[in-house]
Structure 1
């Protein structure tokens, strides 16, 4: 699964989070650390999405959030479409991408492979095409007393609980050329009315359910 390292947030990011504001930083903080030390294609998400030494799939990130997973996959050479339906989160991503375009040549080259769309993924996906669709909905409440990271609590306050996650996965399964990847709590119950995944990649707190479509 993901490396068990603490991702340091940039000072600006920390200040924004302390005030309960959304902030997207593709050039530094946790994202920059992951870019330098994350392990490339050996990380859980790229493996779940089918990245191999000779294969770089096209990707739709149907639930963009902070955009970190999309940035990771774009850093590995993938063309990634990000979809976000929250106006506030979409605006945050737009601002983050704009800052990244002038950050440095390496970061600018990565975000050039990222295309951000605004709207409901269930409605947009049928008109798009990609090898892989990644779905990372807001996760259900934890069964333990462990507290979710502050940044995720802030994000939840903007986007809600994603009660249509099941419907989104069903749409993704019809559209993805090769596979759908559902990012879900390691001990979370499966989404109802969704077929059993082809395989899973397990981590300490997160798992990737992979549904092959070809």
Structure 2
């Protein structure tokens, strides 16, 4: 079956309806709380799944995807989402930006995002369970993210309140500044780099 971005049906719909709302770990990591819905830049948007979850919780999202083919899939998914009665208000909070994430962050104009979310391509693992179809398709296109340290540095320079990095649970932190703390899940964790407190 084809790979496409679908915010209306399938996994996105299930997570929107039954995913646990603001109790989800990603929501806690970016600072969603009572009266707090930060402006978030997802600088490694991919298929937009995490950004859609945060937008469905009320966060204003900017997304950057540097791989043009994946960016085109994302653009198509956002356009179809905008035609759905229930999903349209959510994708209206998602703004897609084109270009290299590091350059876009370094050249940012206007009010900076409060939170920057990074989910760089996980280091390639041998002898592991078969990864999802999307990832099997994308790895030859995208490769690993050897510039993850530069991505983190650019994010830390731009974000006004915090940077959040998603990592495999047992993977080392990205080289550079160390996170102050992390939220651990079953297979992944969120490294958190705070700059100042988010307030309602």
Task: Quickly name the TM-score band, shorter chain normalised.
Answer: over 0.9
Q: 1:135 to 1:178 in 2, by over 3 A?
A: same
CA distance in 1, matches of 2:172, 2:178: 12
Determine the structure 1 residue equivalent to 2:49: 68
Determine the structure 2 residue equivalent to 1:12: none
User: Equivalent of 1:91, from 72, 78, 81?
Assistant: 72
Are residue 109 (structure 1) and residue 89 (structure 2) matched?
yes
How far is 1:204 from its partner? 1.1
How far is 1:143 from its partner? 6.6
**Is there any run of 5+ residues in structure 1 with no aligned partner, and where?**
1-14, 17-21
Determine the structure 1 residue equivalent to 2:36: 55
Instruction: Name the SS of the counterpart of 2:87 in structure 1.
Output: helix
Instruction: Name the SS of the counterpart of 1:187 in structure 2.
Output: coil
Are residue 77 (structure 1) and residue 37 (structure 2) matched?
no
CA distance in 1, matches of 2:127, 2:160: 36
Are residue 120 (structure 1) and residue 120 (structure 2) matched?
no
Give CA-to-partner distance per residue, 1:3-62, whole Å, 9 cap, x none: xxxxxxxxxxxx11xxxxx31000011111100110011001110000001101000000
Aligned residue pairs total: 193
- 8 Å contact 2:124–2:144 — kept in the other structure? no
How far is 1:147 from its partner? 2.5
CA distance in 1, matches of 2:125, 2:28: 25
Are residue 204 (structure 1) and residue 162 (structure 2) matched?
no
Are residue 100 (structure 1) and residue 86 (structure 2) matched?
no
Are residue 173 (structure 1) and residue 156 (structure 2) matched?
yes
CA distance in 2, matches of 1:203, 1:108: 30
User: Equivalent of 1:32, from 10, 13, 19?
Assistant: 13
Instruction: Name the SS of the counterpart of 1:51 in structure 2.
Output: coil
**Is there any run of 5+ residues in structure 2 with no aligned partner, and where?**
none
Instruction: Name the SS of the counterpart of 1:65 in structure 2.
Output: coil
- 8 Å contact 1:89–1:158 — kept in the other structure? no
Instruction: Name the SS of the counterpart of 1:210 in structure 2.
Output: strand
CA distance in 2, matches of 1:50, 1:31: 21
Are residue 186 (structure 1) and residue 169 (structure 2) matched?
yes
Determine the structure 1 residue equivalent to 2:121: 138
